[in-house]
Structure 1
Amino acid sequence: MYSSSLKFLLPLLLLLVVPRISGDDGGQDDPGQQWCIADVQTPDDELQTAINWACGQQDVKCDMIQENQSCYQPNTTKDHADFVFNSYFQNHKNKGGNCYFNGAALITEQDPSHDNCHFEYLS
């Protein structure tokens, strides 16, 4: 009787006792993480205006989207806006900043990092 009961209880006990092993969870370790990215429907000229504004603000890492830097490729206005918007958002969200950019941006819970381009997340 014990052996048949243990056969069913052991997997349940393991799920409760063994800590979660970090695996492929969509790039998220903390389900509350949020990143700010450009809205794909926003025209490039509006994105560029928002990039220019954000790059004029303190603590925005616009150097990372310059040629030969890790977030330059893909070299599109949308991809550069993704990085700059997130850099602004992460560094200003706790000081009253937001992810709006005149309607050109939105929040995602999917880490937009790619290749060697790491999008920061600050709690």
Structure 2
Amino acid sequence: MNHSKQTWEEWVTGAAEMAWPLLTPAGLVACSVRVDRESKRVAVAFHLDAELTEEEHDDLSDVEGSILVQLPDDWQTRLIFERLSPGQPTDLSGAEVIYRRGDTETPFERWQRKQSTGGAS
């Protein structure tokens, strides 16, 4: 499989599904990443809307989880992780949110826009 053909949304949802098999894409509320460049691992923290997942939960309104994902060598878009998350926070609470449900642009489009406007948001 050529991972470089995946979109960000496919990759993020796929990573969350590995840790939460019954996740529906609509249940993904937000996702953040922390990059370890040396090992090419990405810590993905995801936040789910329990009402939109296919699992039963007792008195839970939100579900949070995280997973470490190894980026394949042929996945060129891994460079975007380095551009979006230049620092290396020590915990996921400091990681950058790369996806929120309802986003009108992908992280790559957001990065391109920032580049074209000289880094302004």
TM-score normalised according to structure 1 size: 0.24
Structure label with greater radius of gyration: 1
Structure ranking higher in helix proportion: 1
- TM-score, structure 2 length as denominator? 0.24
